[in-house]
Amino acid sequence: MSKTIAIIGAGIVGVSTAVWLLRDGHKVILVDKSEPGEGASHGNGGVLASCSMVPVTVPGIVRKAPKMLFSSDQPLFLKWRYLPRLLPWLRNYLSHAKEAEVKKIARAVAQIVGDSLEEHQTLSKGTGAEKYIVPSDYLFLYRDRAHYQEDAFGWSIRAACGFEWDELEGEAVQEYDPGFSSEIGFAARLGNHGRITDPGEYVKALARHAEAEGTTLVRAEVQTIHRNGEGTYVLQTGDGTISAEDIVIATGAWSKPLADQLGLNVPLESERGYHLELWEPSFTPKSPVMVASGKFVITPMDGRVRLAGIVEFGGLEAAPSKAPINLLRDNIRAAMPELTWEREVEWMGHRPAPADSIPAIGEVPGKPGAWLAFGHHHIGLTGGPKTGRLLAQMISGRKSNLDMTPYSAARFQS
């Protein structure tokens, strides 16, 4: 049965949901205060990181975090004035840094990201956006085998989720890609991954396709949500009201206030992320890489190389910091010392970080027709297409072949 569905948020998750709902025959209204493909959907690392199911909160993080915060060469930063507001969420977040919890999180996330390349290809087929998808390897770079073995727990999680990889050591690393520093003596190479050559333009192309297929794009900020006596949801914006039978909240790090209006208490924080783009580089890496020593990604894109992966906590309002960008610049010079470039572009944005590191996907208990699709942490681009497909299935009344329990909004009820 065809419905009118209003999706709040035009990032990769919201736009993917729109495309899949259109394919199911629904009428879609896509609402965002900005243009499609802005925010984290523009500024992400650009990797279809199917193997990225290991959360930040691994065992030992509680012991390591204080040292990282006070070291200028570590990829973790904090706006100290924000700490009092952060603490309740932070306690909850760190409570999941146990082996059993990590395995539970990884299983849930793997269901959303494990076949990312195929999901992106299926979503984008025939939309004009498929030209931005490049199948590729994904490399994790280490100083040596001993350094790699320090990450044994994370690799054991990936193996348990069905991933396999090749080990490159010594000269084999340079033979694969001679652009890396000679100090990098070991790499784990995973196949069947991919990259997006321009994430923001990719999402915009999907949105243009959705609009051409009948989606109504509304540029407005949703302020309130209520349900009238006829069971229709009414969204109040600064420019008027929008009515729909179903609604989807897909506003990333800005989702908590809207979820609050539906009677939920979502422990959601902004994990502020940075990227530094190096335009007109003298060369580009063969594949996207994660440099383990700096916990940052190097991704070749159209006309530039993008460096991303810094974590900063400081809320949604504070201005960007300089130290994370400086660290990215130092890190690329260490990892690829011969690389030169003509100009730089800096960016800071907000990743939606739920305290349990599992995205919210599904219907709000007691609120028929109200759906959540946010909280993807580092893997929004990677998991956006599958999230949209699963949500469209549920909205259309079809049963998913996955266990959707881990993503349920029931865990946020007071």
Cβ atoms within 10 Å, residue 137: 20
Residue 229: the pLDDT is 84
Note the pLDDT tens digit of each residue in 64-116: 888 888 887 889 999 999 999 999 999 999 999 999 999 999 999 999 999 99
Can you give the pLDDT at residue 413? 87
Under 8 Å between Cβ of 226 and 146: no
Q: Indicate whether 121 pLDDT > 80.
A: yes
Query: Looking at 351, 367, 398, which one is the last position of a domain?
Result: 351
Would you say residue 301 lies in a domain? Answer: yes
Please say which residue of 317, 351, 385 terminates a domain: 351
How close are the terminal C-alpha atoms of the chain, in Å? 33
Residue 304 and residue 178 share a domain = yes
What is the per-residue pLDDT for 64? 87
Residue 48 lies in a domain: no
Residue 126 covered by a domain: no
80 in the same domain as 31: no
Q: What is the pLDDT of residue 242?
A: 97
Looking at 334, 351, 368, the residue that finishes a domain is 351
Average pLDDT, the chain: 96
Structural domains of the chain, count:
2
The CATH number linked to 225 is 3.50.50.60
Q: Both 345 and 368 in a single domain?
A: no
Residue 414 has pLDDT above 80, yes or no: no
* Average pLDDT of span 314-342: 97
Collect all residues with Cβ–Cβ distance below 8 Å to 368 and sequence separation of at least 6.
231
- pLDDT, position 67: 82
Per the domain annotation, does 125 fall within a domain? no
Position 333, amino acid: R
Express each pLDDT in 12-55 by its tens digit: 999 999 999 999 999 999 999 999 999 999 999 999 999 999 99
Angle between helix 116-124 and helix 380-395 axes, rounded to 10 deg: 60
What are the pLDDT digits (tens) for 348-371? 999 999 999 999 999 999 999 999
- Confidence check: pLDDT of 143 > 80: yes
Q: Is residue 187 part of a domain?
A: yes
**Residue 112 domain flag:** no
Is the pLDDT at 297 greater than 90, yes or no? yes
Residue 168 lies in a domain: yes
In a domain, 405, yes or no: yes
pLDDT at 343 over 80: yes
| CATH number of the domain that residue 301 is part of | 3.30.9.10
pLDDT at residue number 36 = 97
Domain of residue 87: give its range.
53-97+132-192+268-351
Has residue 403 got a pLDDT over 80?
yes
Is residue 361 within 8 Å of residue 167, measured between CB atoms?
no
Do 287 and 340 lie in one domain? The reply is yes
Q: Are residues 25 and 59 in the same domain?
A: no
Distances (CA, A) of 33 to 79, 221, 268: 26, 5, 20
Does 222 lie in the same domain as 82?
no
Model pLDDT for residues 211-263, shown as the tens digit of each residue: 999 999 999 999 999 999 888 999 999 999 999 999 999 999 999 999 999 99
- Is a pLDDT exceeding 90 seen at residue 401? no
